[in-house]
């Protein structure tokens, strides 16, 4: 890195532009996780263009798995090399941070992505269509639902292998999102992972209209939130004269030496800062799915193909909370007296609304969507702690939560009837008698969501509440445990339904998946129990990783 971006900030223009004549030094090694994933995504697009249709599936699955595993190995290598702690640095000409939280969350996102490749590639759940095994994605997304084009595509046994490059692009964007160290990188990373997700949501093989509706809703609301975000970025730039995190933080603190006259004039303008910060927060809280920016969650979770829902629910949350943490802890710590009360309110609202509205849900995917809203509230309780424990507890919670979520949605893909997945809760009655194992596994995930001891959910919940209590947010803890009690009610309702209700006569069957989904569920169960019984190693990891580079 040639110069500290915060000093260049005064000129108001990014270093890359003012020093275009010099070749910028790029730390390829340190950037390797994102480079591997995005490079593989580009190769995957080429595979779509040039490989014969019959070879694409194997190529894409292999390429995606390899790329994600390679990137995960790179992340682990970087962390082992000390980049998470003592060597933490700002890289990529000031645009990205390479530090503990970034590497930890990138590791989680890559693990989630890797496991999701399994559920994306699953081809044993859908009935064989005209002799071809197919996955949960539309045969030809461009065809009109129910139209002749679609029938032709199904007849030809086509599948949408484009999901794999889309997945890779999404993962690539998510890797950059929590590591973004200036607002423009933040915005670009957001768009890089959001656009593939909008598309993926629309690709369901069954109930395509619902799926497309979900995608349109997600896209429209997502576009709104992006607009808020970019507007907020503009205001913050107007306020600080820079988009770099460290630069803005310095202006917020008032610790800039010799500000330029233009900057000095703007610096007193707190309105720009407050409105800008609020708009940026809004954009991030939308991605997190916190009340009152949660409206999209149930529809999108329900309409999207379930493998996508699982991936999105787990990975988006990880990436968005990572970005939120960095923004609040690196850019706006000087403003914490202003944003803490707001986030208090958002956290309380999310916990309470998520838990209470979930009670009335009758669709298992919508139920999990509202539960994810409540969980966003729990995580926010850790975020507002504003202490080191807050960071590490949020990191741990995200790790624990993402695997439970992946596992739960993977189980949802298994319970099927003639119309595809049987997501209406009434269909799940008596599942425990038909398929004790599947029901037991789902019960484990539900108990983890409910935060019952000996599961990862409990340790995570304890960690965030402990951090919140230490940060002086005792009220938040009390609201948290009370809404946990409400939330426990609807998780247990599902367990009651599965185990104590008589099976419906025309109940769904449980499809026997291939090794891909089995592995996904197995990993998720193992992670849930391991993080619940022996969490110390991962808590240590999260504690070590809990320091942001500034």
Partner 1 sequence: MADTSFPLLTATAVLPALGAVATAAVPAARRDAAKWLALVVSLGTLALAAWIALAFDPGGARYQLTESRSWIADFGVRYELGVDGIGVAMIGLTALLIPFIIAAGWHDADPLEDASPNRRWRPTQGFFALILMVEAMVIISFAATDVFLFYIFFEAMLIPMYFLIGGFGDRAHSAGEAEGAKQRSYAAVKFLLYNLVGGLVMLAAVIGLYVVTADQLGQGTFSMQQIAEARAAGELTMATNIERLLFLGFFLAFAIKAPLWPLHTWLPNAMGESTAPVAVLITAVVDKVGTFAMLRFCLGLFPEASAWATPAVIALALVSIIYGALLAIGQRDIKRLVAYASISHFGFIVLGIFAMTSQGQGGATLYMVFHGLSTAALMLVAGFLISRRGSRLISDYGGVQKVAPVLAGTFLVGGLATLSLPGLAPFISEFLVLVGTFSRYPAAGIVATVGIVLAAVYVLLLYQRTMTGPVDKPEIERLPDLRPRELAVVAPLIALLIFLGLFPKPLTDIVNPAVEHTLSDVRKTDPEPALPEVEAAK
Question: Which spans of this chain sit near partner 1 (rule: CB under 8 A)?
Answer: 432-437, 447, 452-454, 458-459, 462-463, 465-466, 469-470, 474, 477-478, 480-482, 484-485, 488-489, 492-493, 496, 499-503, 535-536, 539-540, 543
SS3 81: coil
Closer to partner 1 by CB, 185 or 543: give it: 543
Total residues found in the chain within this entry: 550
Do residues 365 and 371 make contact, with C-beta atoms less than 8 angstroms apart? no
CB atoms within 10 A of CB 283: 28
Q: Which is nearer to partner 1, 127 or 537 (CB)?
A: 537
Half-sphere exposure for 109 (CA within 13 Å, toward CB): 35
- The torsion angles phi and psi of 156, rounded to 5 degrees, stand at -75, -5
Name which of 61 and 394 has its Cβ closer to partner 1: 394
**CA–CA distances in Å: residue 506 to residues 31, 128, 173, 207, 436:** 53, 22, 43, 20, 18
The DSSP line for 494-526 is HHHHHHHSPPPTT--EE----HHHHHHHHHHHH
Tell the smallest beta-carbon distance from residue 465 to partner 1 (Å): 5
Range list of H helices, 25-99: 32-50, 53-80
Q: Which is nearer to partner 1, 57 or 489 (CB)?
A: 489
210: which strand partners?
A: none
Nearer to partner 1, 342 or 486 (CB): 486
Report the residue number, 212 or 455, with the smaller CB distance to partner 1: 455
Please calculate the CA angle 3-230-282 and round it to the nearest 5 degrees.
115
Find, among 206, 149, 222, the residue nearest to 365 by Cα: 206
Residue 9 or 452: which CB sits closer to partner 1? 452
Contact of 241 with 263, CB cutoff 8 Å: yes
Please say which residue, 292 or 474, places its beta carbon nearer to partner 1. 474
3-state SS, 103-170, equals HHHHHHHHHHHHHHHHHHHCCCCCCCECCECCCCECCCCCCCCCCHHHHHHHHCCCCCCCHHHHHHHH
Buried-state track 269-279, b at ≥16 Cβ within 10 A, e below 16: eeebbebbbeb
Cβ neighbors of 168 (< 8 A, separation 6 or more) are 37, 38, 40, 41, 44, 64, 67, 68, 113
Q: Which is nearer to partner 1, 209 or 437 (CB)?
A: 437
Task: Please say which residue, 231 or 462, places its beta carbon nearer to partner 1.
Answer: 462
Distance from C-alpha of 161 to C-alpha of 139, rounded to nearest angstrom = 9
Q: What is the β-pairing status of strands 96-98 and 420-421?
A: unpaired
Instruction: Kindly tell me which of 329 and 458 has the beta carbon lying closer to partner 1.
Output: 458
Per the CB < 8 A criterion, the answer to whether 43 and 287 are in contact is no
Closest distance of CB 529 from partner 1, Å: 12
In angstroms, the CA 461 to CA 8 distance is 42
Least CB distance to partner 1 at residue 484 (A): 5
Cβ contact 95:181 at 8 Å: yes
**Least Cβ distance, residue 492 to partner 1 (angstroms):** 6
Q: How far is the CB of 473 from partner 1 (least distance, A)?
A: 11
Q: What does the block give as tokens for 25?
A: 């030094």
If the CB atoms of residues 149 and 522 are measured against partner 1, the closer one turns out to be 522
DSSP letter, residue 434: H
SS3 159: coil
CA distance 184 to 536: 37
Structure tokens given for 412: 């949802």
- Give, rounded to a whole angstrom, the gap between the first and last alpha carbons of the chain: 14
> Cβ closer to partner 1: 124 or 433?
433
């Amino acid at each position: 890195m040639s110069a500290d971006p915060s000093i260049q900030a005064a000129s108001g223009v990014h270093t890359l532009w003012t020093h275009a004549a010099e070749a910028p030094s790029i730390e390829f090694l340190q950037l390797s996780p994102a480079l591997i994933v995005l490079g593989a995504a580009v190769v995957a697009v080429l595979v779509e263009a040039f490989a014969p249709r019959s070879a694409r599936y194997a190529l894409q699955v292999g390429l995606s798995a390899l790329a994600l595993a390679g990137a995960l190995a790179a992340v682990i290598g970087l962390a082992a090399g000390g980049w998470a702690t003592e060597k933490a640095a700002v890289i990529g000409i000031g645009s990205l941070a390479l530090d503990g939280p970034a590497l930890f969350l990138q590791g989680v996102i890559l693990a989630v992505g890797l496991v999701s490749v399994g559920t994306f590639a699953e081809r044993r759940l859908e009935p064989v269509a005209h002799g071809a095994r197919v996955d949960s994605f539309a045969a030809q997304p461009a065809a009109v639902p129910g139209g002749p084009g679609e029938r032709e595509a199904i007849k030809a046994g086509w599948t949408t292998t484009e999901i794999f490059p889309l997945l890779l692009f999404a993962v690539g964007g998510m890797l950059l999102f929590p590591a973004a160290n200036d607002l423009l990188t933040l915005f670009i990373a957001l768009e890089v992972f959001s656009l593939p997700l909008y598309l993926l949501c629309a690709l369901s093989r069954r109930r395509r209209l619902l799926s497309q509706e979900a995608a349109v809703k997600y896209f429209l609301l997502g576009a709104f939130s992006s607009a808020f975000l970019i507007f907020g970025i503009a205001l913050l730039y107007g306020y600080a004269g820079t988009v770099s995190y460290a630069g803005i933080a310095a202006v917020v603190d008032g610790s800039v030496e010799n500000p330029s006259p233009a900057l000095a004039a703007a610096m007193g303008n707190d309105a720009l800062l407050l409105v800008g910060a609020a708009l940026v927060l809004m954009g991030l809280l939308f991605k997190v799915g916190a009340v009152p920016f949660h409206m999209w969650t149930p529809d999108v979770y329900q309409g999207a193909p379930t493998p996508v829902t699982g991936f999105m629910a787990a990975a988006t949350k990880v990436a968005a909370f990572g970005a939120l943490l960095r923004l609040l802890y690196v850019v706006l710590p000087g403003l914490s007296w202003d944003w803490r009360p707001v986030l208090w309110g958002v956290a309380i609202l999310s916990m309470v609304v998520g838990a209470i509205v979930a009670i009335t849900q009758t669709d298992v995917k919508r139920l999990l969507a509202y539960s994810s809203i409540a969980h966003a509230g729990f995580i926010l309780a850790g975020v507002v702690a504003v202490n080191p424990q807050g960071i590490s507890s949020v990191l741990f919670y995200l790790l624990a939560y993402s695997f439970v979520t992946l596992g739960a949605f993977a189980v949802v893909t298994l319970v099927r009837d003639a119309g595809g997945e049987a997501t209406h809760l009434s269909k799940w009655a008596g599942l425990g008698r038909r398929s004790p194992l599947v029901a037991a596994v789902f019960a484990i995930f539900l108990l983890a969501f409910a935060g019952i001891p000996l599961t990862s959910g409990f340790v995570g919940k304890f960690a965030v509440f402990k951090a919140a209590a230490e940060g002086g947010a005792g009220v938040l803890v009390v609201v948290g445990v009370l809404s946990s009690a409400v939330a426990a009610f609807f998780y247990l309702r599902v367990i009651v339904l599965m185990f104590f209700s008589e099976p419906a006569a025309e109940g769904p069957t449980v499809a026997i998946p291939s090794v891909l989904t089995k592995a996904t569920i197995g990993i998720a169960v193992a992670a849930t129990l391991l993080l619940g019984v022996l969490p110390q190693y991962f808590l240590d990891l999260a504690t070590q990783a809990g320091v942001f580079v500034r």
